[in-house]
Amino acid sequence: MKIFSSEDLKGVSKLAVKKLNMMNIVCKNEYLDELLRDLILEENCQFINTITEIEEGDFSIGMTEENADEILDMEDIVPLKENSVVTEYLDKMNDFINKLEYAPEIKKEHMLGEHRFENIKNEIDEVVKKFEKITDDMQTVKNSLKKLDSMGFIDRIKNINVDFKELMDLDFFTMKFGFLTREKRRKISQNYENIMAVVLHIGAYEEKELYIIISPKSLDLEMSRILRSTDFVEIEIDSKYLSYPYEMERMIAADRKKYENELMELRKTSDEYMVEYRDTIERLYSKIVMESKIDNVRTKVAATRNFCYISAWIPEEHNDSYGSIFERYSNTLVTYKDAEDVSNKIPIPTFLKNFFFFRPFETLVNMYGVPSHDEMDTTVFFGLVYMFFFGAMFGDLGQGMVFVGAGFFLEKRGMANFGSLMWRIGLGSVFFGIIYDSFFGYEHIISKYIPLPIYIRPMDNINTILLAAVASGVVLLLISYGCSIFNKVKAEEFGEAFFGRNGINGMALFLTLLALIYGMVEGSYIIPKGILYIILAISIILLILEEPLGNLLTGEKPLYREPPAEYYTESGFNVLETFLSILSNGISFIRIGAFALNHVGLFIAFQTVADMIGSRTGNVAMFIIGNIVIIGLEGLIVFIQGLRLFYYELFSKYYKGEGVLFSPDKI
């Protein structure tokens, strides 16, 4: 007998984990590519391997006379294979635009409408052929410049007055230029006496060590073996450049200028060609990228002689948005079913849709783990509390404004997610900076201009700050217990929800220990001590009996999944671990207050150094250096400490994070 069902929890809260449905499609073979193109451009379908769903007996068509052919045809169903020619032409196009040093814009408008891969392939061949000479010439010049770049080390030997052509042309000796890593250099230097060669260390070049090695030709085989064991990288020098180093440098510089001028002329010619062909290249590139995506999705499609069978996860809210697409393809069958009706061998992805302000925090939550599709998304809670953590540990109005400004700057420079996250946690720092009356480390400035009774300066209120940190930790832990109970009841894990260490029993044990500690410190108990000890004993007993009581509650048999003796031994250790966990969890939050004090103390240290210097220049220098160090170093430490508190103290209570993100197939 079950007391609760997951249905009872519907509507309890509006969560950011949105519901997904499975969409099953049957279409005629000739419509497949066009239909997949339309669905991919909708950007809301995550295609799965249809064969897997069919083998599990989950693929839905609907048993009617009208679709009898589609059902009977499934007896000969096979998966579609990848078209290697599509990949070949995508690579060909990428190589082509790389040689042109051009990044075409992918446009959706070029992907719409009917078009066939054979036509795209022929057009690509034509365009590449038209540009073939200029792209080949450009590549040849680039290769020549690359060879010249590899001879940049000549600068290190320009003071050696030796004709290297004569050294290279010796009848009885072999000369080699080459690089060694610093680690391998030590290996060579330790074995000079065993090497029958002149080994000249020229110096460092691009974090490698440059050597000239001269050895008898009769020992070429042995030297090759020795140098190979040290990962010696020989530099091949074109014989036309061999001469005195100063002359070599002159010839290389002259040729570099010549090749750069040639490349400039070729680019100019290429730009003139591009005026005529830019639109064509963009259209073809957009089409071949789409064809590649279609081909990737095709490998998840099953097919028979006449029909194709497609399975995809879609957000439930988009069920009605595909009607206009399917109307274009006659006799196409579509059915939808709830995620819970799909075989458990097909993982249900998690579709997160948070309010824009909290969206950047999804990255930090997902670093720990993605919520399962039936698990409460913790992003909003995480975002609010993480801003509180960061602000409380790094409270300063001026430095917080630096974070906010830097965040907006990075957001505009293409680092949208990191920038968005930075200015949000900067807001937490700004808020607590006002409360702490701190502006770039200086106190009493904010209160001077805004005289309100709201300021709590950390160094003047050490005990208050530390107690507030622990109190906030207690509140957050209680919220975590509540989240854990909600998740476990929703997942119908009633034994853990009622009797487990992170369930109702664990919360009662936590509150009882808090009441006992409070009574010992204050000398008076909120609840009579005897009752607290009785509750404590009952909680321990329930914790030990968690599994049999949970199975008894849900009617599951057997009561024990392992021999009772082993279970009770493990339960005894679980009780001990629970007590240690409760103690460490509560104390861990004192670090919030400790870092708030540390933040002020670090700036006091820089102020002290400035006072010792005793000049205005010194004061300004220490102010700038101090704030740079505090913002950079301490900001990073506080960022990590905030994550640590969440990952180890809070998430461990209620969050599994064993899901997989919903990732729709799109360009």
Residue-level pLDDT at 431: 94
Beta-bridge partner residues of 336: 23
Rounded to the nearest 5 percent, the helix, strand and coil shares of the chain are 65, 10, 25
For residue 382, what are its two tokens?
Answer: 């995480």
Strand 208-216 to 173-180 pairing = antiparallel
Distance CA 123, CA 117 (A): 10
For residue 348, what are its two tokens?
Answer: 């249900």
For 211, list phi and psi in degrees, rounded to 5.
Answer: -130, 150
B/e letters for 431-450, b = 16+ CB within 10 Å, e = fewer, are: bbbbbbbbbbbebeebeeee
Residue-level pLDDT at 57: 79
CATH number of 16-80+301-352: 3.30.70
Asked if residues 328 and 353 have their Cβ atoms less than 8 Å apart, the reply is no
Residue-level pLDDT at 71: 55
For 653, list phi and psi in degrees, rounded to 5.
Answer: -80, -40
CB neighbour class for 219 (10 Å; exposed up to 12, middle 13-18, buried from 19): middle
For residue 661, what are its two tokens?
Answer: 């993100």
Closest CA to 424 of 439, 399, 403, 440: 403
pLDDT < 50: residue spans in the chain? 1-14, 63-65
Cβ–Cβ contacts within 10 Å for residue 512, how many?
20
List where CATH 3.30.70.100 sits in the chain.
Answer: 162-243
Distance CA 500, CA 523 (A): 31
Beta-bridge partner residues of 227: none
Q: Looking at residue 650, what DSSP letter applies?
A: I
Asked if residues 510 and 584 have their Cβ atoms less than 8 Å apart, the reply is no
Residues in the chain: 667
Asked if residues 309 and 36 have their Cβ atoms less than 8 Å apart, the reply is no
* Strand locations in 130-259 (E): 173-180, 198-205, 208-216, 233-234
- For the residues of 38-81, what is the DSSP string, one character each? HHHHHT--EEE-HHHHHHTT-------GGGHHHHHGGGG-EE--
Closest CA to 115 of 294, 305, 275: 294
Residue-level pLDDT at 4: 37
- DSSP helix/strand/coil, 357: coil
For 633, list phi and psi in degrees, rounded to 5.
Answer: -80, -55
Q: What is the C-alpha end-to-end distance of the chain, expressed in Å?
A: 50
To 5 degrees, how large is the angle CA 59–CA 62–CA 66?
Answer: 130
Q: Looking at residue 157, what DSSP letter applies?
A: G
Beta-bridge partner residues of 389: none
For residue 423, what are its two tokens?
Answer: 């200015």
To 5 degrees, how large is the angle CA 471–CA 472–CA 475?
Answer: 90
Residue-level pLDDT at 606: 84
Distance CA 648, CA 389 (A): 14
Distance CA 51, CA 80 (A): 10
Beta-bridge partner residues of 208: 205
Q: What top-level class would CATH report for the domain 162-243?
A: alpha beta
- DSSP helix/strand/coil, 201: strand
For residue 574, what are its two tokens?
Answer: 């679980």
The alpha helices in 76-179, defined as continuous H runs, are: 84-100, 117-130, 132-150, 164-168
Distance CA 577, CA 565 (A): 19
